[in-house]
A and B are shown apart, each in its own frame.
Chain A
Amino acid sequence: MLFLIEYDRGKGEIVTLQRFDESQRHRAEGTRLDLELKLNGLGTEHEVVLLEASSENALRRTHRRYFENLSELMKAS
């Protein structure tokens, strides 16, 4: 599965999360560009990243920083 994440680094929070299946790779990449263009127009500096994992749980294990706040990360450590 593919996951397109818009992440506000300053707040440490996900703004939007879109899910795509593997057959939608080109669509996911197109959506990433559209989102970057939109944010650039608004002057918003959010991180936009496309990630791929076997499931959302797998992604949450290897990229916890996007999904958890500081206290949650520290507790889980």
Chain B
Amino acid sequence: MASEISKTQIDRLGDRLKKGEITDNDLRLLDEYRRSFSEAYEFVIVAIRNELGLEPTGRPAKSTISISDKLLRESIRLSQIQDVAGCRLVVSEIVDQNRAVESLKGIFDNANIVDRREHPSHGYRAVHVIVRYRHTLVEIQVRTLLQQAWAELSEKLSDINGTAIKYGKGNKTIMEPLLQMSAELAKEEANEAELTRLEAEVSVLLSAESTELQKQDIMNVQRELKKLQQKQRSLRNTSLKILRDTLEQIQ
């Protein structure tokens, strides 16, 4: 937090943003406040690049409209918002997501993990890693490709039809298919994780010299694998059907 701006000033600014009474001086003060996150933001981005070899997409400062929306929606003060500065990592699958989160915990020892996969926020699934640098927080969003696709769709629908959709208070004809799709994608990702585990198991079994009993084990695991692959195709078809139905309803 900038030493020049007091917490009281920030929270009073937040109150004005919430009321929608934004003067040019408020925008200048908000700009100064957001710039105070630069050092922490840089620290996080550089650490992710150099120590993990990953390339995040950064958002050095949350937009004014997103800050106002958040203040209106939640009973928090401007000084309490944790994602003024942040960045996003999009990885392929759940296994990669778990690996990325563990790596982040390894480089940021004070990281606070918010796992929205088991307890989605109105359908939104991802893992957020909140890092404290001195007195400033930076949020790292870690999403799989499927979680990212869902989040982008939800955000776009919220842009056009009102941000309430993202927070469970919008048009039900849009919200319900989104929630349904989120649940299907969660099943698909759980299945995918099980597939990966079994593939690894088969690979270990195949690499060893096998007795008759072990050969039987391999065949059992391969049968299980085949069932999971079929289930995966069926889950993907269900998700795609929900997508098509949603599009038809909206258009």
Contacts and interface: CB of A to CB of B under 8 A. Distances in A.
Interface residues of B, number: 37
Interface in B135-176: 148-150, 152-153, 155-157, 159-160
A70 interface: yes
A63 B250 CA distance: 22
Interface in A58-77: 58-59, 61-65, 68-71, 73-74, 76-77
B217 interface: no
Interface in A17-53: 29, 32-33, 36-37, 40-41, 45-53
Contact of B152 (A47, A48, A71, A73): A73
Contact of A70 (B23, B55, B88, B157): B157
Interface of A: 7, 9-12, 29, 32-33, 36-37, 40-41, 45-54, 58-59, 61-65, 68-71, 73-74, 76-77
29 contacts: A9-B159, A10-B159, A12-B156, A33-B28, A33-B31, A36-B64, A37-B27, A45-B65, A47-B65, A48-B63, A48-B65, A49-B59, A50-B59, A50-B60, A51-B59, A52-B87, A58-B55, A61-B90, A62-B57, A64-B152, A65-B152, A68-B156, A70-B157, A71-B247, A74-B244, A76-B149, A77-B149, A77-B150, A77-B152
